[in-house]
Structure 1
């Protein structure tokens, strides 16, 4: 599925191809903090299909408890979170923040990851696969 999107203020835009079967909800505590909400909805796109078409996001590198380093990209003007990826020049996968997609009404989460961290008042999405950590 071809998607386009961008930040709230329009300074950053992107395009990518994503597999609708790789759309999910992340309940990890990092996503809770970064989204200022209960979770992030993510849409995974293969690295070779993702392209920034306008602007240049700011990058924050987060080192997880596991030691893994993740790049978190956001707009330096409006602070919209755009994506996360592994910390490399050519990441194999981008976790695009679905709220920034123009086609967000055309996707539906099929999995929930880090479900063990889900806030107790958040109801599960119907018919999603649940993972206590990252999906397999």
Structure 2
């Protein structure tokens, strides 16, 4: 594996972790209906890692064949969408939200825009909630957080799982 650039990531609970070395190719946002359903969201950000530069570092995903051409990998414990895989291709697509540092990979393209939400252009004009989280609520969430941290850990689970 190349040592140039390294991206790590995984699911919300930490049961599945991965590492990709090298640049992630074609970071994009897909608006197709399959990606919407797979993400449980309005779109799915993806980027390609070359298989030779990709490895699972903990656990194994479950797979759902969303078509005859594609399978989608997700955590069987917490359900986090992780991969869009075309078996036989020399790359695997990683969901950008599953990266430990998702802000490090900026999408450069959109695909399947025929299914893009018609009102997306107005998102920046939506009002912003006037009050941020209170310190008491933020502290309560932090104290009871069961989410895996955004970095590799020696062991999993870190504590008792719910």
Q: TM-score range by the shorter chain?
A: 0.7 to 0.9
**Higher Cα Rg, which structure:** 2
Q: Which has the higher strand share?
A: 1
| Cα separation, 2, equivalents of 1:95 and 1:39 | 15
Return the TM-score normalized by structure 2: 0.68
Return the TM-score normalized by structure 1: 0.80
Q: What RMSD, in angstroms, separates the aligned Cα atoms of the two structures?
A: 1.7
The match for 1:79 is 79
Among 10, 29, 32, the residue aligned to 2:14:
10
Unaligned runs of 5+ in 2: 123-162
Unaligned runs of 5+ in 1: 125-136
Q: Which has the higher helix share?
A: 2
| Cα separation, 1, equivalents of 2:58 and 2:110 | 31
Q: How many residues align?
A: 118
Mapping of residues 76-115 of structure 1, within 5 Å: 76-88=76-88, 91-115=89-113
Deviation at 1:115, TM superposition (A): 1.2
Contact 1:3 1:17 in 2 (8 A): yes
Deviation at 1:87, TM superposition (A): 2.7
The match for 2:48 is 44
| Cα separation, 2, equivalents of 1:44 and 1:122 | 25
Deviation at 1:20, TM superposition (A): 5.1
| Cα separation, 1, equivalents of 2:58 and 2:114 | 37
